[in-house]
Structure 1
């Protein structure tokens, strides 16, 4: 028998679009009290208007530990607890390693990997108290690295490694750790790619198959979070049916 999310307090990072936005709306529809954080805080107001339940909007930069601590504190101050952290904030700046702009590497490592680590660190005392859940958004790139995505894949492999270490540390204390690994999803992620060849390749891939929608990932997240307390869904790999690797 599945459990309900009614009244559970959830913090979703990277919630201004795509998977983060869809997840926040899906969890709100399930009765959760949702705090949403993003750098583009103006976009969160429209999300809050669309959500069926109570939503707290937060300006959040996951690369700044102080911003992360403030967002967690504001969530707990508003709702009294924290039951679920959805670590979704991320950037994908694909391109070849040779001749790369290494500032893009830094941005990916700081946002995707360190950002998720900072957020776990700030949220963990509250999640231990509530016997809550850490849910990390990784990628198929966290399982299979491919050419022209070396650093992005490294950050996603890192998320998976960090999550497994965290799981071993906290699972006997009642905190569940879930890793979601989406394949190609219709989000803004690919539009941030600065390498024109890689951006064109991503656009071509998007038109060559029936790609996933953010709501597909949100549905999987709801599934993982509504399992009975003794059931830990540690990993979900979701690809479009048409995606070969």
Structure 2
């Protein structure tokens, strides 16, 4: 079940957090992986822990040239590409009035443009392998977010880009599946940053209370961890999800069931 034997995967933003957990799980499932990130030291350490089944490539997801170099390095090492995981993303946590135009441009550059450029860079290789793409969206891309409207806007874009590219690639006969995964709040570096921002938004700076409030939104009774999302990504990337395209897998502890 959920095997990736002989598959080659590229994961953006995978030096740490969900991306690193996914890379580890993919290797355990039989894949070889290429990790792209701007956090070079952390990325190389992650690859060292994964051994010969992984390589690291410096990647600025907002740069078309950087994507081209990362893809070239992956193909030079492994000879093909079967899976693209558009994982890189940033969180802002500012409202419409508080965020600057520069804040917005940065969100768009990483969360939207990065996904488009990654898809374009991987497409020639995925057409050859009839591979698949997994995009990291969010529950904030499915339902409204009263505290993070701009972040929600970018993740909503990822959600519909996933569905639209699934339709486009199907219409063109590429045989490429495209799906998205929608995490709730996960205990990663980004998750911790979210608690800090939530506390600031309430004017208390009480991060522990922010954590408790967030926990209360999860009917399952706990916060998510990176491996919870990694398992979903590996499933979507595997042949077990072979009849899924244009779909969104929600892994949120029940948050959006409210």
TM-score, normalized by the shorter chain, greater than 0.5: yes
Aligned twin of 1:92: 91
Q: 1:32 to 1:201 in 2, by over 3 A?
A: farther
Aligned twin of 1:239: 252
Q: 1:51 to 1:237 in 2, by over 3 A?
A: same
Q: How many residues align?
A: 244
Task: Tell me if the contact between 1:11 and 1:37 (Cα under 8 Å) persists in the aligned partners.
Answer: yes
CA–CA distance in 2 between the matches of 1:173 and 1:96? 40
Helix, strand or coil for the counterpart of 1:51? helix
Structure 1: which 5+ runs fail to align? none
CA–CA distance in 1 between the matches of 2:13 and 2:166? 23
Aligned twin of 1:213: 225
Aligned twin of 1:105: 104
Shift of 1:148: 2.5
Structure 2: which 5+ runs fail to align? 216-221
Task: Tell me if the contact between 1:91 and 1:192 (Cα under 8 Å) persists in the aligned partners.
Answer: no
Deviates more, 1:218-227 or 1:235-244: 235-244
Deviates more, 1:42-51 or 1:193-202: 193-202
- Please tell me whether residue 78 in structure 1 is matched to residue 77 in structure 2: yes
Aligned twin of 1:137: 136
Shift of 1:192: 4.8
CA–CA distance in 2 between the matches of 1:134 and 1:203? 36
Aligned pairs (5 A) from 1:147-186 = 147-171=146-170, 172-186=173-187
Shift of 1:134: 0.6
Q: 1:159 to 1:179 in 2, by over 3 A?
A: same
TM-score, length-normalised on structure 2? 0.87
Shift of 1:191: 4.6
Tell me the alpha carbon deviations over residues 113-156 of structure 1, each in whole angstroms, 9 at most, x when there is no partner: 10011000110111011000110000000011212211101100
CA–CA distance in 1 between the matches of 2:53 and 2:183? 27
CA–CA distance in 1 between the matches of 2:223 and 2:230? 15
Deviates more, 1:33-42 or 1:197-206: 197-206
CA–CA distance in 2 between the matches of 1:119 and 1:202? 35
Helix, strand or coil for the counterpart of 1:148? coil
Q: 1:52 to 1:127 in 2, by over 3 A?
A: same
Task: Tell me if the contact between 2:6 and 2:32 (Cα under 8 Å) persists in the aligned partners.
Answer: yes
Tell me the alpha carbon deviations over residues 8-41 of structure 1, each in whole angstroms, 9 at most, x when there is no partner: 1100001111110100110011111100011001
